[in-house]
Chains A and B, each alone.
Chain A
Amino acid sequence: AQSVAQPEDQVNVAEGNPLTVKCTYSVSGNPYLFWYVQYPNRGLQFLLKYITGDNLVKGSYGFEAEFNKSQTSFHLKKPSALVSDSALYFCAVRDFDTGGFKTIFGAGTRLFVKA
């Protein structure tokens, strides 16, 4: 079965410092991986995805993610955190066990950026 794990419930970082939000996955074939962000009482917004190609994927709002096949990880990163980055972040993987129409989401990691 396909799955995704976010080992940290919460990440705290000071404004201006680099941030990393961790994600690991388990899939039976090639992984199609996604990151989404959710602000309070809002829907999720797409940040970036990895389908194939370059292991470093760049996305919205200065975020990037590094795909590491050997470690089965897809960590979200940003060189310099902003207070406005504080939100709930979800890693997700496309579920090919059900034909690719379903997405499996991690439990989410809450990011706090302190001024």
Chain B
Amino acid sequence: DGGITQSPKYLFRKEGQNVTLSCEQNLNHDAMYWYRQDPGQGLRLIYYSQIVNDFQKGDIAEGYSVSREKKESFPLTVTSAQKNPTAFYLCASIGTSGGSSYNEQFFGPGTRLTVL
């Protein structure tokens, strides 16, 4: 998990609340990602950002929002519009020197969100 921190590790949300998950990296990576992991399923991409002040929707962006004001930070907000937010959320980054296509992703330790 080196170089990427996620907080909190566990998060509980009541129905109708927005919550923000933190992701910080000190790897000097340009590209950052948010994934959702549900039991028995692979990782599904929520949002990604190739560069500061720019981000794109992934496959399951509805009910989520992000910002990328700093290179090191890519927070994810789970809004009340997300109907089934209980899941394990993973943040990742890729170094883009030499071409991002060749490089592996570095992952944070994850945040487990539970809706009460």
Which residues of A69-115 have CB atoms within 8 Å of chain B's CB atoms? 90, 94, 96, 100-103, 105-108
A32 and B102: CB pair below 8 A?
yes
A43 and B31: CB pair below 8 A?
no
Question: Total interface residues on B, using CB and 8 Å?
Answer: 28
B40 and A43: CB pair below 8 A?
no
Query: In the bound complex, what is the Cα–Cα distance between A58 and B62 (angstroms)?
Result: 39
Query: In the bound complex, what is the Cα–Cα distance between A25 and B90 (angstroms)?
Result: 23
**Contact (A51, B102) CB under 8 Å given A43-B110, A102-B48, A107-B42:** yes
B68 contacts chain A at the CB level, 8 A cutoff: no
Closest to A32 in B: B101
A43 and B58: CB pair below 8 A?
no
Closest to A35 in B: B104
Which residues of B1-59 have CB atoms within 8 Å of chain A's CB atoms? 1, 4, 6, 31, 40-43, 45, 48, 50, 58
Query: In the bound complex, what is the Cα–Cα distance between A45 and B45 (angstroms)?
Result: 17
